[in-house]
């Protein structure tokens, strides 16, 4: 996921400069992270809205196609590890191709949401 998020994060940084820096959620960080990745792969904005912050959804709407294409190279998720620190969490996802990516999440209104920031 590092390659996927690296491309997305670069795009996010660029978007932040361009923009002037200007639901549901998951029951656990791992559930939310897996649902987010599935939504990215399908290009399903409605599903992303359920498990990601509003800013993340906006950014993925702008740059999500590139991430969706990258997801195909990774294959299915084969393993996860989760670290929770209060209302923040990190989930490491391991994919069929051997790559491991980290997803950052925050807890809002009792639900875990993927939070891609600059």
Q: Which residue has the higher pLDDT, 7 or 34?
A: 34
Maximal CA-CA distance, the chain: 38
pLDDT of residue 69: 76
What mean pLDDT comes out for the span 60-78? 79
Alpha helices for 19-109 (secondary structure H):
29-42, 45-51, 54-74
pLDDT tens-place string over residues 23-68 = 456 789 999 999 999 988 888 889 989 999 999 988 887 776 677 7
Looking at per-residue confidence, does 59 or 113 come out higher? Answer: 113
Residue-wise pLDDT tens digits, 94-111: 999 999 999 999 999 999
CATH of 2-114, one of 1.10.286, 2.40.10, 3.40.50, 3.10.450: 3.10.450
């Amino acid at each position: 996921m590092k390659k996927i998020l690296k491309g997305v994060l670069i795009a996010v940084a660029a978007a932040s400069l361009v923009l002037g820096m200007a639901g549901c959620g998951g029951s656990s960080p791992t559930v939310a992270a897996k649902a987010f990745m599935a939504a990215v792969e399908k290009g399903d904005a409605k599903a992303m809205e359920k498990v990601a912050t509003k800013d993340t959804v906006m950014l993925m709407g702008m740059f999500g196609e590139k991430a969706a294409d990258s997801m195909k190279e990774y294959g299915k998720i084969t393993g996860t590890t989760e670290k929770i620190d209060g209302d923040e969490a990190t989930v490491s996802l391991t994919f069929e191709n051997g790559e491991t990516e980290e997803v950052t999440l925050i807890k809002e209104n009792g639900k875990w949401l993927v939070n891609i920031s600059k």
